Amino acid sequence: MSVAEVFSAHSHIYATAENERFYTRIAAALAEKVSPRLDPGKILEVGAGTGAATIILKRYFPKAEILATDPSAEMLAHNRRKKLAHVRYACLRAEEAACLEDKFDLVFGNICYHWFEKGTAKGLAGLLTPSGVLAFSTPTSGQEKGDGNLILFRICRELGVKGRHGRHLSSLSRLRKEFAHLRNVATETMTLRETCPPALLGTLLRARGSWTFVFGPEADAAENLWRKYTTGRPLTTLSWHITLVVAG
Ligand SMILES: C[S@@+](CC[C@H](N)C(=O)[O-])C[C@H]1O[C@@H](n2cnc3c(N)ncnc32)[C@H](O)[C@@H]1O
């Protein structure tokens, strides 16, 4: 299954309020970092998905024209249903978006950079107007761990995936290297705690592509182990470390 197929298959779960709330919060933190620096007229959103962050872009930059892109047509269909004014759509991977002929004041991606091929920031930077900026939020590794994180580590050990699908352990220094060619790179890491019934969290992680991202072909096996190890727990907590990068 391609990444787009993984997201398409579960887009109806991704588009639920309890899932989108999590992404909206992060997108708002990122937009908050951009807004003092820039009042963009044209925005390219990459990995726009079902529109949790597109809504935030509209709120912070109401006059901007937005081109919202994502490789999953089904994710974008949910985004379209939000009927946001001055938003156009294109089914594209971020790596392909780098070939667009337009220029943008802001290229924005909420919790999607970790899916892109290495070096994508360089291609996207070529789309910026002279005062334009790139803004991304992406998960990085961090110290704080909830009981859910410990269960995930146990599953990694049991399936022996560390190293094979270890991209999720992306460090801040590795992320900074991606943007090193740009002047003015600001990063900030925020920690979010997500506490909910483990069955719901397991389903949300499926819709977010997390099982696939971390465990690759062992995604289903990992989700089954999650069910096994969380049986009887009313609630589970995951600690997320999200790095915001604004560069340009
Ligand atoms: C976790 S979702 C985030 C969606 C949205 N930004 C939000 O805040 O809700 C990750 C998104 O990245 C998209 N994606 C995966 N690989 C991509 C790529 N190579 N280029 C662009 N988007 C990609 C997926 O289709 C999915 O919609």
What domains can be seen in the chain, in order of their start residue?
3-142+168-193+240-247 (3.40.50.150)
Pair of tokens at residue 16: 């639920």
Rounded-to-integer distance, Cα 206 and Cα 200, Å:
10
Give me the pLDDT at residue 150, please.
95
For the CA of 94, the closest atom of ligand 1 is 20
From residue 214, give the alpha-carbon distance in Å to each of 119, 158, 229, 247.
20, 13, 17, 27
Mutate to test the pocket of ligand 1, among 66, 115, 116, 206 (most ligand atoms within 8 A of CB): 115
Pocket residues for ligand 1 (CB within 6 Å)?
3-4, 7, 23, 27, 46-50, 52-53, 70-72, 75, 93-95, 110-112, 115-116, 208
Q: How far apart are CA 123 and CA 240, in angstroms?
A: 28
For atom 24 of ligand 1, which residue has the closest CA? 47
The pLDDT of residue 164: 53
State the pLDDT at residue 168. 47
Closest-CA residue, ligand 1 atom 22, reads 47
pLDDT tens across the length of the chain (248 residues)? 899 999 999 999 999 999 999 999 999 999 999 999 999 999 999 999 999 999 999 999 999 999 999 999 999 999 999 999 999 999 999 999 989 999 999 999 999 999 999 999 999 999 999 999 999 999 998 889 999 999 999 999 999 887 555 454 478 888 999 999 998 999 999 999 999 999 999 999 999 999 999 999 999 999 999 999 999 999 999 999 999 999 99
Residues in the chain: 248
Write down the H helix ranges in the chain.
3-9, 11-14, 17-34, 52-60, 73-80, 94-97, 120-125, 147-159, 172-178, 198-207, 210-215, 219-230
Looking at residue 166, what is its pLDDT?
Answer: 46
CA of 233 to the centre of ligand 1 (A): 31
Residue 161: per-residue pLDDT: 85
233 alpha-carbon distance from chain centroid: 28
